[in-house]
Structure 1
Amino acid sequence: MTTLGAVFRPQLPPERLRPVVRAAEDAGLEELWLWEDCFMESGIATASAALAWTERLRVGVGLLPVPLRNVALTAMEAATLYRLFPDRVTLAVGHGIQGWMDQVGERADSPMTLLEEHLAALRALLHGERVTTEGRYVRLDGVALDWPPAVPPRLLAGARGPRTVRLSGSGADGTVLDCAAGPDDVRRARRLIDEGRAQAGRTGDHRVVSYIVAATGPGADERLAAELDTEAIASVPDVAVSGDADAVAAAVRRRAEAGAHTVVLQPTSDEPDPEGFVRFAAEEVRPLIG
């Protein structure tokens, strides 16, 4: 069965988070996804608040940019969330926007090497291992978490380019594909993920999360067109959807048929009713999806 989620956009001020979270919980939305975009809102802080305000809602962070984060700190924060809110947290890590990494003086000469090292160390720490490593970027000397998650969690990687997608297959337990990936891109990603998994000898399932820009209600077509121009993805086939619940559900099903396990509706940055958007996803779109 396809999981349906929605995004709380960090273009909204933090004080808007609680009413959106409560609307998602009350409407029965399965997952709410948060972003750690520079220089807006912390992924861990917003996830902690969202989880504390709810009892059932699952919360994803897609993604935490690894150049900003020492892997031991990421592991400590992640483990705390996993223990406080078991079975309700999904975290993804990734390169981050390189221009933002430049701004804070943390751009890596080899983002691929950094992500590979970070994934390996973070996954080991969250599995309760004691880690010593002397990599190009990640250096740990006998580091182990005092409070690792009771059950090793699924760790996802955000990916766009083919090398990173293949790395997510070899080094992560799932992949987050951003709004630039249409159904054909999801299919290609699944093939690259499988190549990475085979190369690393990985078994078990691998969760694919796919964002799709969606707009509904008055002015939906105009808002969507402006968003696609801003994101420079207007030419990508079937990359976004506007319209009623039937239209949005059909687009979600196409992503699922392409290989996405979770489809996350991403509102436009100027969505006029964020609470209404999550209710629309849960109450009108969800019943139309298998």
Structure 2
Amino acid sequence: MIFQPWSAPERLREAALAAERAGLDEFWVWEDCFKESGIASIVAALSVTERLRVGVGILPMPLRNVALLAMEAALIERLFPGRPRFGLGHGVLDWMGQAGARVASPLTLMREYVPALRRLLAGEEVTVSGRYVNLDRVKLDWPPAAPVRILGAAEGPKTTALVGEVADGIVLTGGWSAGMVRDSVARATQARSDAGIDGPFDVAVFLMADFGDGAAERMETEFDAWRMTGERRYAAAGSVEQVAATVREVFEAGATSVLLQSRTNLDDLEGFAANAGEVARLLR
């Protein structure tokens, strides 16, 4: 499940504990400007849980120097081995502009940033001179003991193909139908094949969800709030069994992780976690 930054930060730890009690595999946090820090949130959730994998999606690359993020990710992985997951993206361009961090070519930034980050986390000494990423003999003193997988968020076809080339996986945010997921996975994996890249490719999908009577009607209001149209008005709604059926469709389309995203005004996060846990049990 996802903890959205519309909920107060004080609720983060109890939501993470509820997700772990419910038997969920993963719990993701967001970094939307200017709400809650993704790095602080992931550390807080990891520190109060024992087995839950915790992801952050997405960290906007323009806001963080790549050497700084490498230090942060390395430390978090060393403290909580095998449990953190990191998703990177362009960031909402208007927000990046507000923060004085907007770049003229987000694709160029991703092409430079993600490979540099992965090399740093692999313990390499990195020197690069790019349009946006410039490093002079940077090497982590405390690299992770095991590889850290880096996922890239994508919507458009160019970014999707680029993520396939440079990252270990892709993050598809809310409003992606099973068919759209299938198309994106095909595009990313084809780009990997064209680049001669082997190995597993993670596909994390944010799936909007609501449980109980009237869930479909409530989700229509949620779609309107997110200004979603056409095929993007896609969600899992209804009974636990109905939600599980939609989740299964997304897995069959190529997802390796499905993160249930509640309505933005939902107050009962513990109840949502319990229902999500029931969905997980049906699918195992």
Letter in 2 for 1:251: T
Map 1:177-256; keep pairs closer than 5 Å.
177-217=172-212, 219-236=214-231, 239-256=234-251
- Residue of structure 2 equivalent to 1:286: 280
- Residue of structure 1 equivalent to 2:107: 112
Separation in 1 of the partners of 2:203 and 2:149?
Answer: 12
**Cα offset, 1:64, TM superposition:** 0.4
> For each residue in 1:144-190, what CA deviation from the matched residue of structure 2 results, as whole angstroms up to 9, or x when unmatched?
11111101111111111111111111000000111121111111111
Separation in 1 of the partners of 2:218 and 2:109?
Answer: 37
- Residue of structure 2 equivalent to 1:14: 9
> For each residue in 1:246-280, what CA deviation from the matched residue of structure 2 results, as whole angstroms up to 9, or x when unmatched?
11000000001111111111111011211111111
1:60 aligns with 2:55: yes
Task: Name stretches of at least 5 consecutive residues in structure 2 with no aligned partner.
Answer: none
Q: What TM-score, normalized to structure 2?
A: 0.97
Structure-2 change in CA distance of 1:47 and 1:237 (3 Å) = closer
Structure-2 change in CA distance of 1:71 and 1:237 (3 Å) = closer
Letter in 2 for 1:260: A
- Residue of structure 1 equivalent to 2:133: 138
Letter in 2 for 1:188: D
Task: State whether residues 183 and 238 of structure 1, in contact with CA within 8 Å, keep that contact through their aligned partners in structure 2.
Answer: no
> For each residue in 1:35-82, what CA deviation from the matched residue of structure 2 results, as whole angstroms up to 9, or x when unmatched?
011001011101001101011111011110001110001100000111
Separation in 2 of the partners of 1:169 and 1:65?
Answer: 18
Separation in 1 of the partners of 2:260 and 2:229?
Answer: 17
Letter in 1 for 2:18: A
> Greater shift after overlay, 124-133 or 187-196?
187-196
- Residue of structure 1 equivalent to 2:260: 265
Q: Give the number of the structure with larger relative contact order, counting CA–CA contacts within 8 Å between residues 6 or more apart.
A: 1
**Cα offset, 1:237, TM superposition:** 6.1
Aligned Cα root-mean-square deviation (Å): 1.2
Task: State whether residues 160 and 177 of structure 1, in contact with CA within 8 Å, keep that contact through their aligned partners in structure 2.
Answer: yes
In the TM superposition, structure 1's runs of 4+ consecutive aligned residues that sit over 3 Å from their partners are none
**Cα offset, 1:232, TM superposition:** 2.3
**Cα offset, 1:195, TM superposition:** 2.0
Give SS of 1:236's match. helix
- Out of 164, 188, 191, the residue aligned to residue 159 of structure 2 is 164
- Residue of structure 1 equivalent to 2:79: 84
> Greater shift after overlay, 232-241 or 78-87?
232-241
Letter in 2 for 1:94: G
Give SS of 2:231's match. coil
Question: Number of paired residues?
Answer: 284
Equivalent pairs: percent with the same residue? Answer: 50
- Residue of structure 1 equivalent to 2:41: 46
**Cα offset, 1:218, TM superposition:** 5.4
Letter in 1 for 2:86: L
- Residue of structure 2 equivalent to 1:95: 90
Separation in 1 of the partners of 2:214 and 2:183?
Answer: 33
- Residue of structure 1 equivalent to 2:120: 125
Q: What TM-score, normalized to structure 1?
A: 0.95
Give SS of 2:230's match. coil
Separation in 1 of the partners of 2:123 and 2:234?
Answer: 39
**Cα offset, 1:28, TM superposition:** 1.4
Task: Name stretches of at least 5 consecutive residues in structure 1 with no aligned partner.
Answer: 1-5
